[in-house]
Amino acid sequence: MKQTPRNETIAIVGAGLIGRAWAIVFARAGCQVRLYDTAPEALAACQPLLLENISDLAQHGLIDESPAEVLARITPVPTLAEAVAGTVLVQENIRETLEAKRAIFAELDQLAEPGTILASSTSWLMASEFSEELPGRHRILVGHPVNPPYLVPLVEIAPAPWTSAESVQRAHDIYSRAGQTPVLLKKEITGFLLNRIQGAVLNEALNLYADGYASVQDLDKVLKDGLGLRWSFMGPFETIDLNAPEGVIDYAQRYGPTYRSVAQAQLPNEWDPAVLARVEAERRAELAAPQLAERARWRDNRLMALVAHKRRQAGNES
């Protein structure tokens, strides 16, 4: 589907890994994008990096314009004031410390017009932690992406208790129009939804490894050749609904007591450096350190092929 350029301008604050990826999301959707970073070298470096990522998307058939047309909608600007003027959304992507987030949101709340939504990409911080004192706190929320958001569409919208329902709805609409899949947290919690679920999986994988039940390689296969195949098109609730003939209650009656006793025996993993050194050694035997970057590129290419496949199947999906 060819994108129609839209009269909607988005500011991206912080031109690192996630800021650049957000810029691609919105430019691909036809928005004008202004990109700002305090480090001039980050802004200077971003054009070739953006072009490389957008060209990869083009190669997988994931954009219908030339990479140059998409790139032309992204404008690096030298000041924060220029970045935010006349925007519907500011997406903040600076380093992950509470002090930095507090300082940038105070500045953004002063500079941005009253109708502009201010969203943070923070992975772990809650909007209430950096917006409480601000006059415009009703338009501040978290919009947590998954890396890279131009391939993985989930955005977790996590409002503070004082974020207005109207701001939440507008953020939801902006992300949806840009092709993302927003989900809403009904109340705040550290780590939102995705990182908490990822944390639970990691906790159990580390425990099983530390207690000697399986190798790193085999534990990875449990996901990539097992659960992960299904998880790319359905979640845990739909999974259990379909895994007993009569649905969720039937499944719970059959297996619930066992899951419960397993959960009762599960402990928080200590992330012991000695165990992590063994995990690292097993990984390095599989993949030498100099090949990490090449493998990350391979991962992104596999993701692009999967996204392209899912798009082709879209007509058959619900």
Ligand X SMILES: NC(=O)c1ccc[n+]([C@@H]2O[C@H](COP(=O)([O-])OP(=O)(O)OC[C@H]3O[C@@H](n4cnc5c(N)ncnc54)[C@H](O)[C@@H]3O)[C@@H](O)[C@H]2O)c1
Query: Left (φ > 0), alpha (ψ -120 to 50) or beta: where does 242 sit?
Result: alpha
CB nearer to ligand X: pick between 18 and 29: 18
Residue 143 Cβ vs ligand X, minimum distance, rounded to whole Å: 10
Question: What is residue 12's DSSP assignment?
Answer: E
Residue 33 Cβ vs ligand X, minimum distance, rounded to whole Å: 15
Residue 19 Cβ vs ligand X, minimum distance, rounded to whole Å: 6
Tokens at residue 304, please?
A: 């692009």
CB nearer to ligand X: pick between 30 and 145: 145
CB-closest chain residue to ligand X:
16
> Do the beta carbons of residue 77 and residue 9 sit within 8 Å?
no
Beta-carbon contacts of 12 under 8 Å, excluding residues fewer than 6 positions away, are 19, 20, 22, 23, 26, 33, 34, 35, 36, 83, 91, 93
CB nearer to ligand X: pick between 38 and 232: 38
Residue 144 Cβ vs ligand X, minimum distance, rounded to whole Å: 6
Would strands 117-120 and 32-36 be described as parallel, antiparallel, or unpaired? unpaired
> Do the beta carbons of residue 33 and residue 74 sit within 8 Å?
yes
CB nearer to ligand X: pick between 42 and 158: 42
Q: How far apart are CA 232 and CA 188, in angstroms?
A: 26
**Residue 208 CB burial class (10 angstroms; 0-12, 13-18, ≥19):** middle
CB nearer to ligand X: pick between 44 and 227: 44
Residue 193 Cβ vs ligand X, minimum distance, rounded to whole Å: 13
Interface residue list for ligand X (CB under 6 A):
13-19, 36-39, 42, 93-96, 104, 121-123, 144-145, 147
Residue 55 Cβ vs ligand X, minimum distance, rounded to whole Å: 20
CB nearer to ligand X: pick between 18 and 57: 18
